[in-house]
Amino acid sequence: MGTRGLTAALCFTLLSAGGAVYCYTRADALQVQGQWLMERGTAQAEEYANRLDGKAADAQLKTFAERRGVLEKAHLWERGMMLGVLAAAMALVGAYVLFLLNRLDDQLLDALGDLRPTPPPSAAPSEPTGALVSSLQR
């Protein structure tokens, strides 16, 4: 799981961050278009105030409805941007956890390498030596 999991988490982080940036650019473009439609609607309102013509009022209502649709799309792109940022942050935390687990695993392998058990002696003496015999058996 070591490096492959870490690499996958980092790739997912970059992919999510790139998606968030793309969503931001789309939302920003739609916000600019919505601003332009608002200014257009304001100009149509001034025209209606000067002429008192029903066509200008209908055009203004149509422009405001179009602006509403554009801003709803922009809001959806902003939601996508927030989800991308959240996914990137979570993937980055996951990558850090995997990095720490990989380091811990390496440290445990190094520690076990120093403490490997020695093999038992192949030929054990059949008679106990005098130094190892308890005092009760003498």
pLDDT digits (tens, 9 = 90+) for 75-120: 999 999 999 999 999 999 999 999 999 899 888 888 887 666 666 6
CA proximity to 23, closest of 73, 91, 92: 73
Confidence at 40, pLDDT banded by 50, 70, 90? confident
Task: Give mean pLDDT, residues 31-45.
Answer: 88
Residue 47 confidence (pLDDT): 80
Confidence of residue 14 (pLDDT cuts 50, 70, 90): very high
State what percent of residues in the chain have pLDDT above 90: 47
| Residue 74: predicted pLDDT | 94
Output 87 or 53, whichever has higher pLDDT.
87
Percent of the chain with pLDDT over 70: 80
Residue-wise burial string across 96-127, b where 16 or more C-beta atoms lie within 10 A, e elsewhere: eebbeeeeeeeeeeeeeeeeeeeeeeeeeeee
- Tracing tokens 């066509």 back to the chain, one arrives at 55
Compute the C-alpha angle 59/63/64, nearest 5°. Answer: 120
* Residue 129 predicted with pLDDT over 80: no
Mean pLDDT of 33-50: 86
Candidate from 58-67, 79-88, 119-128 with smallest mean pLDDT: 119-128
Determine the Cα–Cα distance for residues 29 and 20; give it in Å rounded to an integer.
14
pTM of the model: 0.66
